Each structure stands twice: as C-alpha cells, then as structure tokens.
C-alpha cells in the first residue's frame, strides 16, 4: 500500500510527533509498504499529498494542528482515508474542558473543575483565584486546555503568587484555562483500539520519578516506569476497562486512542483526558500495552491501518 505518514508540523508537540512518525514509518517499511514521511508544512501539504496520492494517511501528528480535526477535515475533502478519529471526536478530545463537560453529562467520573477565559480572569483576578481555592481546594491543577505532553499543566500547592503564576503561564498558550481538583492516587492509562467494538489493551500504571508525569518524565528514559498490569484490585481494573470503553464510544473515537485516569485513593477511577493521537514511538504507552497483548509494534501499526480502511466504519464527514 502507498502510505503517507503525517508528522511534525508547527505544534508544541512537534518533536514528539517526529519521533512517533519516524517509528511508524520504519514499521511500515518493515511491513513492505511504499511509505513516505511528510513533515506537515501548511503551504505544501496539499501538493505533497496530491503528488504521492496515498491509499491511506497514517496520522502521527500530536497536538494542533493534526490531533484537533483540522487535518482530518482536509483529508476528508481530498478523499484520502486516514488513521484514527474523525473530525468531531478529534475536535472534542483535543479540548480538555469540552471533554470533561461531555464525560460529566454521560455520568463518567472526572475531577471537579472550573474553566475561565482570559477576559473573565483579567476583570477580577483575586475573585477568580478565591473561587478556584474555595471550590477545588489545594493542591489544584491549572491547565491550558488544548496542549499535550504536560505542556501548560501546573500543580499548584499554594494560593497567592504560585496560583497566579500558574494561571499566567497557562494563559500564554491559549485564551482560556481550566482549574482541576488534584487527585491523589495511582495514574493509569487505558489504550483502546477498534471502531464499533473497541477493545481495551492491557492497562498501564505509570510511575514517575519527577513528582508528576511531566514532559521530562515522559520522554527521558528511566524517569518513568510502566507497570503492567497496574497494582490495583481486580474490581478497579474492570471499572477502568469499562469506563475507557464507554468514554471512547461516547466521544466517537475511531482506530485507537489512549485514555488517562487517576484512581483517587487507589479506589475511584477518574478520567482526566482522552488522547486521540497517542505517542507511537517504540517505547510509548500504547505500543507497550500492545506488546503485552502479544501485538508487536509493526503489527499494531498494521492493525491501526486496517481499522482506517474498514469500509464499514470509514465514513466521510462523520
């Protein structure tokens, strides 16, 4: 098959995407496909895709644009099938605030939160800081809602200057921020694969040696560990599996995704976010879980492509 791997681009997660894209490209070559790598350049992307005319695009773009529905829209207009979620699920899950509103409506547990625009915050900073502390307590997590790789995420332990600085930093990325209750408990990620009948791959417990699972812990070998299966009771594991499947389905995800949880007090699973284009380097979480399920990296890549080409489930403008 002719497969174009879309990677890189201008997002804040460019470097990670280049790594995912390179790993996927190598796997495609190993599988015998006619593959090329395309570093997303907004000026030349249409021409490059027209020239190569791929049977399918492997979307390895993390962040915006690429994980947000924009590139999916372009590919649909060009009539090119692509891996992963469609426009709506991508646009929904890129935004942590919208995702949480959606989960709440469906009765899926997600930590308490507040969201605020830059304009609202500027009007009365102290009042909003007070509201955050009164509703969510301390520590509290401040997030830029559409970033990834822990960019724009701050764990705040003290009111006053520390909280103000975190909010100002989050607002450097976009014009709104969210504040979320800090949950104490193990961090678990649920890789999900499939279209209409999604399957949860083995869950992974993430242990970070930097205090929290920040950019450094995610991408520096040795700074975090993946524990499969998580050290949790069977009943909690099965709750996480079921919540992951539900969240994937109601968000309308396709192909694959990774759903991040924190299990408050080791008992109460809460979803913190859904990643529609999770990391795909050979040592990333989803490939690790797939390996534990007996699917090596090239087999995983092929499976994701097969799901994109499944005529039953690939629908334009879905």
User: What is the contact surface with ligand ADP in residues (CB under 6 A)?
Assistant: 111, 141, 143, 147-150, 153, 180, 182-183, 187, 212-213, 260, 262, 272-273
Residues from 240 through 279 that contact Mg ion (CB under 5 A): 260
Residue nearest to Mg ion (CB): 260
Residue 58 β-bridge partners: 5
Residue nearest to ligand ADP (CB): 213
Tokens for 49?
A: 């895709």
Strands 2-7 and 34-39: parallel
CB of 272 to Mg ion, least distance (A): 7
Give first-to-last CA distance, the chain, whole Å.
24
Identify whether 275 is a catalytic site residue.
Answer: yes
Identify whether 260 is a catalytic site residue.
Answer: yes
Nearer to ligand ADP, 50 or 157 (CB): 157
Nearest to 110 by CA among 94, 98, 122: 98
CB of 215 to Mg ion, least distance (A): 11
Cα separation values, 31 from 27, 255, 299, 302, 304, Å: 6, 19, 9, 8, 13
DSSP H/E element including 205: strand 204-208
Nearer to ligand ADP, 273 or 288 (CB): 273
CB of 287 to ligand ADP, least distance (A): 17
DSSP H/E element including 275: strand 268-275
Nearer to ligand ADP, 142 or 200 (CB): 142
Candidates 13, 67, 95, 187; catalytic one: 13
- For residue 81, the SS3 value is coil
CB of 66 to ligand ADP, least distance (A): 14
- The answer to whether 187 contacts Mg ion (rule: CB under 5 A) is no
CA separation for the pair 302, 312 (Å, rounded):
18
CA separation for the pair 83, 147 (Å, rounded):
21
Active site positions, annotated: 13, 149, 219, 258, 260, 273, 275, 279
Q: Which residues bind Mg ion (CB under 5 A)?
A: 260
């Amino acid at each position: 098959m002719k497969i174009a791997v879309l990677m890189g681009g201008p997002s804040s997660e460019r470097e990670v995407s280049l790594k995912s894209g390179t790993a996927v490209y190598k796997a495609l070559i190993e599988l015998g496909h006619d593959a090329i790598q395309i570093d997303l350049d907004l000026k030349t992307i249409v021409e490059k895709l027209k020239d190569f005319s791929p049977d399918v695009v492997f979307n390895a773009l993390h962040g915006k644009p690429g994980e947000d529905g924009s590139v999916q829209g372009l590919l649909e207009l060009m009539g090119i099938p692509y891996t992963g979620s469609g426009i709506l699920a991508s646009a929904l899950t890129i935004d942590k605030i919208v995702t949480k509103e959606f989960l709440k409506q469906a009765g899926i547990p997600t930590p308490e939160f507040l969201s605020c625009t830059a304009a609202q915050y500027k009007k009365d900073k102290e009042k909003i800081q007070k509201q955050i502390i009164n509703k969510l307590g301390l520590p509290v997590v401040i997030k830029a809602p559409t970033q990834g790789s822990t960019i724009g995420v701050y764990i705040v332990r003290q009111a006053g200057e520390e909280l103000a600085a975190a909010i100002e930093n989050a607002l450097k990325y976009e014009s709104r921020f969210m504040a979320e209750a800090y949950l104490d408990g193990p961090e678990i990620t649920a890789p999900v694969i499939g279209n209409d009948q999604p399957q949860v791959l083995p869950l992974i417990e993430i242990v970070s040696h930097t205090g929290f699972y920040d950019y450094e812990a995610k991408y520096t070998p040795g700074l975090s560990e993946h524990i499969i299966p998580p050290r949790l009771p069977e009943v909690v594991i099965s709750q996480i599996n079921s919540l992951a499947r539900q969240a994937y389905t109601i968000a309308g995800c396709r192909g694959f995704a990774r759903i991040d949880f924190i299990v408050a007090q080791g008992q109460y699973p809460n979803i913190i976010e859904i990643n529609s284009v999770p990391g795909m380097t050979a040592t990333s979480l989803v490939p690790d879980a797939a390996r534990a399920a007996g699917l090596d990296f090239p087999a995983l890549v092929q499976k994701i492509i097969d799901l994109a080409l499944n005529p039953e489930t690939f629908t334009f403008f879905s």
